[in-house]
Amino acid sequence: MKKKICLIHTGGTIGMIRSEKGYLPKENYLASALEAIEDLKNPSMPDFDLFEMCPLLDSSDMAVGDWNRIGEEIASRYHLYDGFVILHGTDTMAYTASALSFMLEGLDKPVILTGSQIPLCEIRSDGRDNLITSLLIAGEGKHKEVCLYFGGRLLRGNRATKMSADGLLAFDSPNCPRLAEAGISIRYLPVPKPPKCDTDSNFSLCTLEDVPIGVLKVFPGIRFPIFERLMTEKLKGIVLETFGAGNIPGEGDALLPIIERAFEAGSVITVCSQCPQGTVSLGTYKSSSPLKNAGAVSGFDMTTESCVAKLYYLFSKHYSKEEIKALMEENLRGELTK
């Protein structure tokens, strides 16, 4: 029997049109653009229904409420379709993919985010292949998790990151092998499946609360006290993007008391690396070992996108700060390697 895919259009370059102010999303346009792609009617394509979200967004305008709306669109049709393809802007696609990987608890169907760097209305658009291959992969259903397909690469959603602002191979997952590569044929690769969600074996949606989360990128000469109030009073979850394997300048003298006060106040500080590839290893250098004692947790090889989404998710589950600390270091959906 032919597979049935739910295609949800959220906005992004793929469905944008030219305007005097630059490319922008246009309501009710995508259906006609898809009608013009004859290959979508090829018998080897799965059947699909198109749903358009309102308003359509440039993904740089998306926030937690929009992730919830996408999650609700999927959840309300979960039992009607074999898989889902989400058309999305590239700028924050890796954040949405990460967020959905946590929100869609007990997911047992493929959810594939894709988009394009060049709109479908332009002659050299990469949207056509990204859409067709995503629909085929969703129909084949080999990976029943949140994935991101772009430029011939099928990636684990919560491992993906945007690597290029203008290249057509825009995404990769430097800390996780690709799930598939689409060349002459679609070649699936043997990547361990993400752990099963332990809260519920049935599918359910966990919507996220808009808790205050922040990302602080360490740089040479950073004056930590400038950020003290932000870290101790304003933010609940903080992603600290450190050098290399988790190193901070000044042996942490200025930062450690701030981390301690932030943790007392209920904030969880997760240490990530500024390097796209490799892992945080607290304690390898003298400049990173005090972070752990002060109460920070290791983000291991998580992307910043995934770390941000995981903090939203864990705070939305109302765990205690100790539980959140412990779960940040656990592999919940394949987002980290320990």
- Per DSSP, 113 falls in state E
Considering the complex, what minimum distance in angstroms separates the CB of residue 125 from ligand ASP? 11
Q: Which of 15, 83, 89, 127 binds ligand ASP (CB under 6 A)?
A: 89
d(Cα 12, Cα 29) in Å, to the nearest integer? 13
**Residue found by looking up tokens 């919507």 in the block:** 207
Nearest of 31, 46, 98 to residue 71 by alpha carbon: 98
Q: Which of 46, 110, 115, 299 binds ligand ASP (CB under 6 A)?
A: 115
Omega before residue 177 within 30° of 0, cis: no
122 binds ligand ASP, rule: CB under 6 A = no
Judged by CB, which is closer to ligand ASP: 115, or 246?
Answer: 115
119 binds ligand ASP, rule: CB under 6 A = no
117 binds ligand ASP, rule: CB under 6 A = yes
91 binds ligand ASP, rule: CB under 6 A = yes
d(Cα 268, Cα 326) in Å, to the nearest integer? 10
Considering the complex, what minimum distance in angstroms separates the CB of residue 165 from ligand ASP? 9
161 binds ligand ASP, rule: CB under 6 A = no
Task: List residues with catalytic annotation.
Answer: 13
12 binds ligand ASP, rule: CB under 6 A = yes
- For 164-173, b/e burial (b = at least 16 CB within 10 A) is eeeebebbbb
Nearest of 24, 45, 23, 20 to residue 128 by alpha carbon: 45
Handedness of CA 193, 154, 13, 31 (dihedral sign): negative
Considering the complex, what minimum distance in angstroms separates the CB of residue 120 from ligand ASP? 12
**What is the length of the chain?**
338
Judged by CB, which is closer to ligand ASP: 84, or 95?
Answer: 95
247 binds ligand ASP, rule: CB under 6 A = no
Judged by CB, which is closer to ligand ASP: 69, or 261?
Answer: 69
Omega before residue 55 within 30° of 0, cis: yes
Binding segment (CB under 6 A) for ligand ASP, from list 26-34, 58-66, 120-128, 140-148: 58-66
d(Cα 15, Cα 30) in Å, to the nearest integer? 6
d(Cα 171, Cα 39) in Å, to the nearest integer? 25
Q: Which of 13, 114, 279, 303 binds ligand ASP (CB under 6 A)?
A: 13
What residues from 290 to 309 belong to the interface with ligand ASP (CB under 6 A)?
A: none
* Contacting positions for ligand ASP (CB under 6 A): 11-13, 58-60, 89-91, 115, 117
